[in-house]
Copies of this chain bind each other. A is one copy, B any other.
């Protein structure tokens, strides 16, 4: 029965998202650098360049170690043609992180779909997160890696995505409190703790194989339950203290 709390909690905490910004950033980048409203015909698109960059990033290679020429070579264009799409490698990286954010929201949406079929929302959410980690597009991996490395712009982009995730989760915690009567101690803090924990566990799953990753999923689920239980217990105690006073 408690499980239902978690179901609604995590899985739906990811809730409405999606489709807010779409392909805006990449498009704007392109039009800015080109400075023209109508591009004649570009055989290699900005997306192709981003794909080339991703394909160069191994399991643990940071974007900051990519060179402009290397990316251009992988995409099959002359080095200078890179400038038609991005001013910098940094600019491409920011676009990559934006795409990773979209990927993250895809995770959320997928978790919601699974929710209707399975039992535990925690499980399905965490599993969806981990699945996305080793999907074909490795955007989520990249996002996690560039969290601590990279210049200001990267980290801001990453932070934006995580904060977004966090706020959705907090809103859902508050909503859940009204529905079920199980209060959460400090919803914003609880959401932050859960988010950071999932991200940290996900990052450490980057190296590992399938079965170790499954183990990690189980661990993460239990950890989240601990936080939820603790938060609810502290909420209950806080109200009791207030009553007795």
Q: Which residues of A contact B (CB under 8 A)?
A: 60, 62, 64-65, 144-145, 147-152, 155, 185-186, 189-190, 192-193, 196-197, 199-201, 203-204, 206-207, 219, 222-223, 225-231, 233-234
**Contact residues in B for A225 (Cβ distance below 8 Å):** 230, 234
Find the B residue at minimum CB distance from A62.
B149
On whether the beta carbons of B60 and A219 are closer than 8 Å, the reply is: no
- Also in contact, A185 and B226, with CB within 8 A (given A145-B149, A148-B147): yes
On whether the beta carbons of A201 and B196 are closer than 8 Å, the reply is: yes
A56 → B minimal CB distance (Å): 15
Find the B residue at minimum CB distance from A154.
B60
On whether the beta carbons of A234 and B223 are closer than 8 Å, the reply is: no
**Contact residues in B for A234 (Cβ distance below 8 Å):** 225-226, 229
On whether the beta carbons of B231 and A226 are closer than 8 Å, the reply is: yes
A25 → B minimal CB distance (Å): 22
Apart from the given pairs A186-B222, A223-B227, A227-B230, 6 other A-B contacts in the complex at a CB distance below 8 Å: A196-B201, A197-B197, A226-B226, A226-B230, A228-B230, A229-B230
**Contact residues in B for A228 (Cβ distance below 8 Å):** 230
A-B contact pairs, 12 of them (CB 8 A): A60-B151, A60-B155, A145-B148, A186-B222, A189-B219, A189-B222, A192-B219, A196-B201, A197-B200, A199-B200, A226-B234, A228-B230
On whether the beta carbons of A200 and B196 are closer than 8 Å, the reply is: yes
**Contact residues in B for A199 (Cβ distance below 8 Å):** 200
A239 → B minimal CB distance (Å): 15
CA of A189 to CA of B216, assembled, Å: 10
CA of A64 to CA of B65, assembled, Å: 8
**Contact residues in B for A206 (Cβ distance below 8 Å):** 148
A237 → B minimal CB distance (Å): 9
CA of A233 to CA of B182, assembled, Å: 15
